Amino acid sequence: MTPQSHLQPDNPLLHQLKNHLSIVVGFCDLLLGDLPQDDPKRVDIQEMRKAGQAALDLLPDLSARMR
């Protein structure tokens, strides 16, 4: 069993959660790509991204506990 297989379609809620978080992280990446290196907003966006990624990292655990 690969680690990801916890997130097989038997867990549609987690699947949706992951999709939404992916969009959060994705838009952060887009903004970070657009903004110049010295833009003060970068720090805030990086915080948002960090939080989104942290939530994503929780998903495998969550999946295991929901079984």
Partner 1 sequence: MPDTAPLLLVVDDEPGMLTLVQRFAEAEGFDVITRPGGYALLKELPELNPDAALLDRNMPEVGGLELLKAISEADPGCQVILMTADATVDSAIEAVKLGALDYLSKPLDFNRLREILGGVRYSIARRQRLLAADTELATRFEFCGMVGRSPVMQELFDLIRRLAPHARTSLVTGETGTGKELVARALHKLGPRKDRRFIAFNCSTLVETLAESELFGHVRGAFTGAVEAKAGLFEQADGGTLFLDEIGELPPPVQAKLLRVIEYGEVQRVGATDGRKVDVRVIAATNRRLPEEVAAGRFRQDLYYRLNVVEIQLAALHERRDDIPYLTAAFVQEFAARFQKRVNALSPGAERLLHNAPWTGNIRELRNVIERACILSDGRILSEREVLAALGGGARLAAPSAAAELAPLESNDVMPEPDRGMIEQALQQVGGNRSAAARRLGISRRALYRRLDTFGLR
Binding site for partner 1 (CB under 8 A): 2, 4-5, 7-9, 15, 18-23, 25-27, 29-30, 33, 53, 56
Q: How far is the CB of 47 from partner 1 (least distance, A)?
A: 16
The residue with tokens 């069993």 is: 1
| Rg (the chain; Cα; Å) | 15
53, two tokens? 């990624």
At 8, which amino acid appears? Q
Q: How far is the CB of 31 from partner 1 (least distance, A)?
A: 10
**Cα–Cα distance between 62 and 44 in angstroms, integer?**
27
Q: How far is the CB of 58 from partner 1 (least distance, A)?
A: 14
